Chain A
Amino acid sequence: MKGYLLEISQALIALVLAPGLVGFVRWWKARLQGRRGAAPWLVYYDLRKLFAKEVVISKNTSWIFRFTPYLVFSSTLAVTLLIPLVAAPLPFDRIGDLLLVVYLLLLGTFFLALAGLDPGTAFGGMGASREMTIAAIAEPTIALSIFGLAVGAGSTNLGRIVAETLAHPSAAISPGHLLGFAALFTVMLAETGRLPVDNPSTHLELTMIHEAMVLEYSGRYLALIEWAAAVRLLIFFSLLANMFAPWGVAATLTPVAVGIAAVALVAKLAALGLVVAFLETRLAKLRLFRVPELLAVSFVLALLAVTSSFLLR
């Protein structure tokens, strides 16, 4: 019973923290660029404003356009129920493993791309095409990283992976782990639309990837999609943090342990957010056709991670 309550509150925590995380990254980026930056909690006000606005949709769209925001939001929220944010293992752990998480996120991307094509604009098509290209090319790296983690932990279930790393702390600095982290970090940048792959704050349509797909959305639809994108960022950060550096994650469901875990989670998210903000300031956006090269590098990193943990046991 406690486990189920914790699961649900975990999802709510994710929902509540996610926009703050996006705001935090934006704020730090501004500070690093010498600006004062919008306050981190401005994102919440943005969401509230969007929910209060009227939706305007194109007359060329179909039911898919109206359905997609709900599907994307629900599938992303479903993922938060499956990943270990503050405690592992949780009761829903047996419902899905890391592969399911990846494919649920792909479900959201699939429908978002369809919704990009629906209004019949060139920008939407362009965004959809680029997004699916990058998603497809990032898949092998994700799969190989999962392979590497699973072989080390003896399972693809997330709770078990976390427990395994907690039990063997020296494995955390093994090359396999570090290379896997580097590979997944690169993929995270691609999948969440961060520099150097995609600039989330660009206003130039021809340089957009994710933003171009959602160009036609407004009002509550846009709010749902933006919120889902923020939750997606939180999901990737949490996966990186809790699978590769799981210290702080509660193994028992006592209030003290969960409290520590929540604080640890916020600290790890903030740390990763700082790193991403720093990278976004330091790196320029890659040309679109240089992105496959970056993803190929991450693939090689993942392959090296797998071979070093797989072939040297």
Chain B
Amino acid sequence: MSTNLFAQLSALASSLTLLAGIALLWRRSLDAYIQAFKWQSVVLSGMFVLVGYAGGDRQLYAMAGFFFVLKVVVIPHYLRRLEEQVGAERESHPYINIATSLIISGLLVLLAYVITRPLVAVSRLPTRGSLPLAMGLIFVGLFVVVTRRKALTQVVGFLVLENGIALLAMLGTYGIPLIIELGVFLDVLMGFLAMQVFVYHIHGTFESMDVEQLNRLKH
């Protein structure tokens, strides 16, 4: 595979993952969020395979497999189950309205470009052009967590953030060693299960997914 084609494909894949992240800022329903996360993870697994093929690293194929199972099958399944248990609420009044959030996300991507300029200048890998997009995805994930009200949206935002970090690692260094990656996966799974319990209890106590309600615990 020619370097140029590899660079173009990785840029394409990174753009698609970023767009999936931005879809979190656009849509209002939890189903849409789960779909976006699922497709983002599919593209990311594909990226693992691509980088493994172009970089000649067999471990990445295994990682792609784990990634796919964890993030395309297991986590969306649990998310759907949680949605059925607590009832999905639409994100109708986020703290920053949707059009403004979208514009801010565009500006965040610009910021990511500016911030990763030294990284891009130093790196020799053909995937360096897509580093800003991964950084942008991280920012977008953070932005979702900060500005959305419902707990489930924040959970998905956190998962997208984690995807962004994985993408950044892969683009920057062609992936991190298998053991570390597995450890990270396990962390994510544990964190997710903990959040599941958390969300379930929020719903049970307040009959609502609005995280602002936690303020009432003060009294």
Contact = CB atoms under 8 A, between A and B. Distances in A.
Query: Does A touch B (CB under 8 Å) in the complex?
Result: yes
A294 to B, nearest CB: 8
B56 interface: no
B129 A312 contact: yes
A293 B15 CA distance: 20
A144 to B, nearest CB: 10
B180 interface: no
B31 to A, nearest CB: 16
Given A179-B15, A303-B110, A304-B15, A296 B98 contact: yes
Contacts of B106: 299-300, 303-304
Given A170-B8, A173-B8, A293-B26, A304 B102 contact: no
Contacts of B129: 308, 312
Nearest to B117: A311
B99 interface: yes
A252 interface: no
Interface string B23-51: 00010000000000000000000000000
Interface in B84-105: 98-99, 102-103, 105
A296 B22 contact: no
Given A293-B26, A293-B102, A296-B99, A304 B18 contact: yes
Interface residues of A, number: 19
B209 interface: no
Contact of A300 (B8, B14, B103, B113): B103
Nearest to B15: A175
Interface in B104-133: 105-106, 109-110, 113, 120, 129, 132-133
A308 B102 contact: no
Contact of B99 (A170, A292, A304, A311): A292
A133 interface: no
Contacts, number: 59
B11 A175 contact: yes
A296 B15 contact: no
A300 B102 contact: yes
Interface string A101-116: 0000000000000000
Place the interface of chain B in its size category: 20 to 34
Interface string B67-92: 00000000000000000000000000
Given A300-B106, A304-B15, A311-B113, A174 B99 contact: no
B12 interface: yes
Contacts of A173: 8, 12
A297 interface: yes
B4 interface: yes
B35 to A, nearest CB: 15
Contacts of B5: 170
B102 A174 contact: no
A308 B98 contact: no
Most buried by A among B14, B19, B22: B19
A178 interface: yes
A33 interface: no
Nearest to B26: A297
A296 B103 contact: yes
Nearest to A140: B103
Most buried by B among A175, A179, A296, A311: A175
19 contacts: A174-B11, A175-B8, A175-B15, A178-B15, A293-B102, A296-B98, A297-B26, A297-B102, A299-B102, A299-B103, A299-B106, A300-B103, A304-B18, A304-B109, A307-B110, A307-B113, A307-B132, A308-B15, A312-B120
Interface of A: 170, 173-175, 178-179, 292-293, 296-297, 299-301, 303-304, 307-308, 311-312
Which A-B residue pairs are the 8 nearest by beta carbons?
Answer: A296-B102, A303-B106, A175-B15, A296-B99, A300-B106, A293-B98, A175-B11, A312-B129
